[in-house]
Amino acid sequence: MFPSFLPAAVAQLTEDTSIALAQQIQQTSITTPLQPDPILTTYVQQGDEGTPILLLNGFDSSLLEFRRLIPKLAPHIETWALDLLGFGFTERPQGVDFSPTDMKTHLHSFWQQMIQRPMILAGASMGGATALDFALTYPEAVEKLVLLDSSGYAPSPKATKFIMPPCDRWLTNFLRNPKVRRWVSLQAYCDKNFVTPDAECCAALHLEDPNWHRALVGFTKSGGYNFLYETIQNIPHPTLILWGDADKIMGIKDADKFDQTIANSQLIWIPDCGHVPHLEQSQLTADNILAFLASPAKRPSQTISPISQGKR
């Protein structure tokens, strides 16, 4: 049985990991400084061992992108996944800008009310930028960071701040187009066999939210994380950088930038993998995350090969 707040199209899921995670999505009311009313927030929580890890979704995505990673982490560590404000199945209320600041405020409120202790913060793509921004603002809430093919270095085009009707509707209609979404999916994977009907369903379910358009435009007009690259050098936390060596979405240059800029970091290349190692190489991704979490908190910056794999 799927939660009633998910769209009816969730019944089209066919893969066991997708169905299982969708059935386990929960919704809670999170009180924030953003508005008087609480925000209905969707999340998943599994496992109860050790320091909690919180997984953050990428741009125009949902926590369903962690459907293959969560089952491999949860038996070993308390595992959470959250739909960030403006994304996934979390409520998109009127009067909220959906800027990175709003997302960070909502995330902090979720942490205060649900997790309440230092955590491992892991972000994929845009979620990595969210994790970095959060860790800089609330360092006491974060023990370690994990970046999965993270954004954060490329400034957003300044013109995005001036997106107005009807251009905003054209932008979201373009991103909603099934052919465009399929093309993006094909670019995200090294092995194109991962682009299945189930994967495309997972990637499109949240589009049925009636406020999807407004939230996506709000985030885009805010400029996104175009301010972040100047502050990454200030990250004090031990940071694991996992990067697909065949990433066609972000490319591979930023992986080295993160590793060189963050003083306490290690970079691990995931072989034969595109932009989504948590989907395409989920076991290898989980193994490396668990090894990193079990290691001492302080370590010199280093670039190493993934567990049981050769060097890139």
Q: What is the pTM of this model?
A: 0.92
CATH code reported for the domain at 8-304: 3.40.50.1820
Candidates 154, 301, 134, 136; CA nearest to 229 is 154
The predicted pLDDT at position 173 comes to 82
The predicted pLDDT at position 168 comes to 65
What string of pLDDT tens digits covers the 312 residues of the chain? Answer: 999 999 999 999 999 999 999 999 999 999 999 999 999 999 999 999 899 999 999 999 999 999 999 999 999 999 999 999 999 999 999 999 999 999 999 999 999 999 999 999 999 999 999 999 999 999 999 999 999 999 999 765 444 554 555 566 667 788 889 999 999 999 999 999 999 999 999 999 999 999 999 999 999 888 899 999 999 999 999 999 999 999 999 999 999 999 999 999 999 999 999 999 999 999 999 999 999 999 876 543 444 445 444 334
Reading phi first (left if > 0) and then psi (alpha if -120 to 50, else beta), residue 309 is in beta
Task: List C-alpha distances in Å: 18 to 14, 63, 67, 201.
Answer: 7, 11, 6, 10
Q: Which residues of 120-135 are buried (b: 16+ CB within 10 A; e: fewer)?
A: bbbbbbbbbbbbbbbb
The predicted pLDDT at position 155 comes to 62
Return the domain boundaries, the chain. 8-304
Sign of CA dihedral 221, 223, 225, 231: negative
